[in-house]
Structure 1
Amino acid sequence: MYSSNNPNDKSPIPPPQYGRQAATGYPVQQGVEGSWSSGLCDCGEDVPNCCITFWCPCITFGQIAEIVDKGTTSCGASGALYGLIAWMTGCPCIYSCFYRSKLRKQYMLEEGTCNDCCTHFWCEGCALCQEYRELKSRGFDMSLGWQGNVDRQNQGVYMGSTAPVMQPGMNR
């Protein structure tokens, strides 16, 4: 099934949306720039993640990078590279700001008053926590990684939905 009636257009139709966001990464409203699900400084919404990010931001960054890259990079590799850059330069934002930009483009989120690099430079921990909360609010279980979320979706447990998905076919 393809997105247009043009026989040369082979782009797939996005899967149906259940809840806010499916694990495939398709935004709910395509083409419309939207707001973040939480503010930059709303760390009170997820205190455990804020603590992890404060003490070891490479863990949070690795989880974000794996989801944003749709499983093409691993949490461990991304987190280790983040830690290495932080150790060598003292400025891991030169790496992490690019993932904020990718996340914004994937979900058509507004940039805000400060660009992504400045946001990460001045508020690295807050930016990582906001990105983590955004993915979590879109239905991702950050502890599962990309493949775990895809497997969960393929088993009929769609992001943001507690109702089972009915499969087409004959039922008795």
Structure 2
Amino acid sequence: MGEWSNGLCGCFNNITLCLITYVAPCYTAGKNAEAVGDSCIMVGVLYWIFPLIGIYFAAQARGKIREQKGIEVSVLYLSKDCL
């Protein structure tokens, strides 16, 4: 089975990405969506204008990343998709 490259608090391993995500989480959500073939613009704009809807789409993108990497599906991982 696959593993995430960083843990839940592993964002501090890449301080640049950490700062970008802190300032503009819609950008990071859009780039994650783009990595799995979804629309970067749609997810980013939804996250920016309607945060709750954007979080849903960002979690869907993380779920697709989890499936692509072969990361085991469990209740713990499903809750982390939203984080």
TM, length-normalised to structure 2: 0.79
The structure with the larger Rg is 1
1:66 equivalent among 34, 38, 43: 34
Does the Cα contact within 8 Å between 2:43 and 2:57 map onto a contact in 1? no
Change (3 A) 1:39 1:83: same
Q: Output one character per residue of 1:38-86: Cα deviation in whole Å (capped at 9) or x when no partner.
A: 21211221011111111210000111111111xx52x223211222221
Aligned to 1:104: 66
Superposed CA RMSD = 2.1
Cα separation, 2, equivalents of 1:36 and 1:92: 22
Q: How many residues align?
A: 83
Q: Output one character per residue of 1:113-167: Cα deviation in whole Å (capped at 9) or x when no partner.
A: 6142x2244xx3xxxxxxxxxxxxxxxxxxxxxxxxxxxxxxxxxxxxxxxxxxx
More helix by share: 2
Cα separation, 2, equivalents of 1:113 and 1:50: 26
TM, length-normalised to structure 1: 0.42
Does the Cα contact within 8 Å between 2:36 and 2:65 map onto a contact in 1? yes
Kindly state the Cα deviation for residue 102 of structure 1 after the two structures are TM-superposed.
0.7
Change (3 A) 1:106 1:67: same
Change (3 A) 1:43 1:112: farther
Does the Cα contact within 8 Å between 2:63 and 2:81 map onto a contact in 1? no
Cα separation, 2, equivalents of 1:103 and 1:82: 18
Which residue identity is paired with 2:60?
F
Aligned to 2:42: 77
Q: Output one character per residue of 1:78-104: Cα deviation in whole Å (capped at 9) or x when no partner.
A: 211222221xx4x64322211111111
Which residue identity is paired with 1:41?
C
Q: Does structure 1 residue 94 correspond to structure 2 residue 59?
A: no
Identity %: 31
Any stretches of 5+ residues in structure 1 without a counterpart? 1-32, 125-172
Aligned to 1:134: none
Any stretches of 5+ residues in structure 2 without a counterpart? none
Aligned to 2:80: 119
Cα separation, 2, equivalents of 1:103 and 1:52: 20
